[in-house]
Amino acid sequence: MDFDQADRVNQAIRLLSLRHRARTAELLAPLGLHPGQEALVLELARTGPMIQAKLSEALNIEPPSVTLMARKLEASGHLRRTPAPTDKRASVVELTDSGRALAGQLKRLWRALAEETVAGLSARKVQDLPGLLTTIAANVDTRHRR
């Protein structure tokens, strides 16, 4: 790949990342959330209660980030943390009734954002997009570098 093509690829990915995060922040603000918190709520809605360390793995983010997000979501009443029955050092994180209601709102918001993001693409391209983006993400995943 020559530099011009490499530059176009890298700039397009950079611009998408910046704009998607900004649009996400804009949509989450009325719900009192910041980008990243929606992923935590949606993961718990998908899986049910989970040990905080496992939640960190599922979200592919550092444990201190999950701790901070969980504290904020707990303070707002959307989730609760309790000691794990088998390991008192670990916390089980679960959605409250408020968190489950929030998850419903987030699912609608997430769907609208996805539809907005892929507007103008053919159904086939939309179908292929998650696989392409997952491959791209894996290619730059620093955790699996040798």
pLDDT single digits (tens) 102-130: 999 999 999 999 999 999 999 999 999 99
pLDDT at 89: 84
Quick one: which H or E segment has residue 50? strand 50-51
pLDDT single digits (tens) 63-97: 999 999 999 999 999 999 999 888 878 899 999 99
Residue 143 predicted with pLDDT over 80? no
Of 107, 29, 40, 32, residue with least CA distance to 68: 40
Of 82, 46, 40, residue with least CA distance to 65: 40
Any idea what the CATH number is for the domain that residue 18 is in? Answer: 1.10.10.10
What integer best gives the mean pLDDT of the chain?
A: 93
- The total of structural domains in the chain comes to 1
pTM score of the predicted model? 0.86
pLDDT at 141: 80
Q: Is 6 exposed, middle or buried (0-12, 13-18, 19+ CB in 10 A)?
A: exposed
pLDDT single digits (tens) 13-28: 999 999 999 999 999 9
Q: Which residue range is the domain that position 48 belongs to?
A: 3-144
Whether residue 20 contacts residue 117, with contact meaning beta carbons closer than 8 Å, is answered with: yes
pLDDT at 17: 94
Across the range 130-139, mean pLDDT stands at: 92
pLDDT at 146: 55
Residue 1 predicted with pLDDT over 60? yes
